[in-house]
Amino acid sequence: MTRPLLGRRELLRSASGLVASIAAGRHALGAPAPASGAPGRPMAPLSERAPAEHPARALHERLTGISATPLGELDGTITPSDLHFTRHHAGIPAVDPSRFELLVHGLIDRPTVFRLDELRRLPSRTVTCFIECAGNGLPAVRSAARDRTPGDIDGATSNSEWTGVALRTVLDEVGVKPGARWLLAQSEDAGRYARSIPIEKALDDALLAYGQNGEPIRAEQGYPLRLVLPGWEGSASVKWLRRVELGERPWLTRDETARYSTILRDGRVRLFDFELGPKSIITSPAYPRTVDVGWWEIRGLAWSGAGRIARVEISVDAGATWQDARLDAPVLPRAHTRFRYPWRWDGGATALCSRATDERGQVQPSWQEFSAARAPGNDYHNNHVRGWRVESDGRVWFERG
Ligand SMILES: Nc1nc2c(c(=O)[nH]1)N[C@H]1C(S)=C(S)[C@@H](COP(=O)(O)O)O[C@H]1N2
Ligand SMILES: [Mo]
């Protein structure tokens, strides 16, 4: 390696110093070749990605399955809408917005049908939050395969700006009767997907969302209307919403009993285990990229269903010692948070890991702690520390922890 190495302080002082140093190591310095001077192409009503960029979701089972966000190819915190992961159990229904109706009934004073334009007239709000599948990270639990990208491991989480009407506003309109403790949110997809939601969450921050990152929700995300329950397992955020019923007890639908229970090692089962724990993953450097000797910025995402991320620690020596990463502001509650940590690779074999703590003081468990608490084969809400093994030849492999 002929590249000049920067000191840590220099790197921290000057990001452009790093760029200059890398450039100087690889190329002779000189003015860039002049552009041709010919005008570029004209624009179109819709813009496109730069021709050299091809980020894409990995598809697993096309009819009922998951498409995964390519976390290792993205910067910042907002997931581009066409790269938002998708999970569905019965395909993506085509819902005609002009014929759309939301029925609200049950233990309420005024059973009501809302058209989409009526919902859009109600006071609205915008919230940035992640949606994460309860089974996210399942590949890491089920196999020890090392050739996994960040998206392969944890790509069933995405972060968007959602706009809509607070479910509380709609419930105030229809008048909830005393005694209503739960509500059923049902979809109009082919499986009539339905979940029971406690009234406390419905009255707290539940959103009936019609907007995603500034435009109507994508068909795959539940167009024209979905439930968004910030911080809760994605499976409870019912898409293609059709019906809300208020009642005294949960309905125990197939979609909440055949799946989504947490089975503990001591044999007990947690039903309605909604909130997701603190979690993080280093998105770079990560498989399939390689590293060479010198300075790198370790980058990753952290999030928690309990609120804000308070701290992310990084270990560059396989968990022996930990240092705090820098968190990008603003740190939003129940939203992806970007962390960064400068790392100088000296060429030795090691492993990189990240560990998140949320504002409630919950810490991401180790693989040993996590797997000791769970019944074997129970993959839901797995948030144990993930690692990346760095070999002395510069190759980087996923490591479960
Ligand atoms: N109607 C309906 N809503 C649904 C589902 C479904 O199959 N049908 N899947 C759930 C699951 S398991 C998850 S993880 C989230 C995923 O939301 P997304 O596809 O917008 O990422 O939607 C939830 N809402
Ligand atoms: Mo899910």
Cα 152 versus chain centre, distance: 13
Look at ligand 1, atom 22, and give the residue with the nearest C-alpha: 235
Rounded to an integer, the average pLDDT of 244-267 is 92
pLDDT tens by residue, 273-326: 999 999 999 999 999 999 999 999 999 999 999 999 999 999 999 999 999 999
Domain ranges of the chain: 66-269, 279-399
Helix, strand, or coil (residue 351) = strand
How many residues are given for the chain? 401
pLDDT surpasses 80 at 106: yes
- Going by CATH, does the domain composed of 279-399 fall within 3.30.70.260? no
pLDDT at 16: 47
> Distance from the CA of 320 to the center of ligand 1, in angstroms?
39
pLDDT at 252: 96
pLDDT at 28: 60
For residue 88 and ligand 1, the question of a CB distance below 6 A is answered with yes
Look at ligand 1, atom 11, and give the residue with the nearest C-alpha: 235
pLDDT at 42: 94
Ligand nearest to the CA of 220: 1
pLDDT at 9: 52
Least confident of 27-31, 188-192, 293-297, 325-329: 27-31
This prediction has a pTM of 0.92
pLDDT at 366: 96
* pLDDT, mean over the chain: 92
> Distance from the CA of 86 to the center of ligand 1, in angstroms?
7
From the CA of 87, give the closest atom in ligand 1.
19
Ligand nearest to the CA of 222: 1
Helix, strand, or coil (residue 264) = strand
pLDDT surpasses 60 at 22: no
For residue 221 and ligand 1, the question of a CB distance below 6 A is answered with yes
Element containing residue 9 per DSSP (H, E): helix 8-13
Contact 210, 224 (CB under 8 A): yes
In angstroms, the CA 306 to CA 46 distance is 38
pLDDT at 20: 45
Contact 87, 221 (CB under 8 A): no
Look at ligand 1, atom 6, and give the residue with the nearest C-alpha: 88
Strand 350-358: give its sheet, edge to edge: 323-324, 309-315, 350-358, 387-390, 396-399
Neighbours of 322 (CB within 10 A): 15
Write the CA distances from 168 to 108, 172, 368, 378, integer angstroms. Answer: 13, 6, 41, 34
From the CA of 241, give the closest atom in ligand 1.
1
- Going by CATH, does the domain composed of 66-269 fall within 3.50.50.60? no
From the CA of 158, give the closest atom in ligand 1.
21
Between residues 80 and 27, which one has the greater pLDDT?
A: 80
Rounded to an integer, the average pLDDT of 33-43 is 86
pLDDT surpasses 90 at 62: no
In angstroms, the CA 185 to CA 192 distance is 10
For residue 234 and ligand 1, the question of a CB distance below 6 A is answered with yes
> Distance from the CA of 41 to the center of ligand 2, in angstroms?
42
- Most informative mutation of 132, 221, 235, 255 for ligand 1 (most atoms within 8 A of CB): 235
Per-residue DSSP letter, 154: H
**23 pLDDT tier (thresholds 50, 70, 90):** very low
Q: Do the domains 66-269 and 279-399 sit in the same CATH topology, yes or no?
A: no
Segment 264-272 long-range contacts (CB within 8 Å, at least 24 positions apart)? 264/373, 264/374, 264/375, 265/372, 265/373, 265/374, 265/375, 267/375, 272/196, 272/198
From the CA of 222, give the closest atom in ligand 1.
20
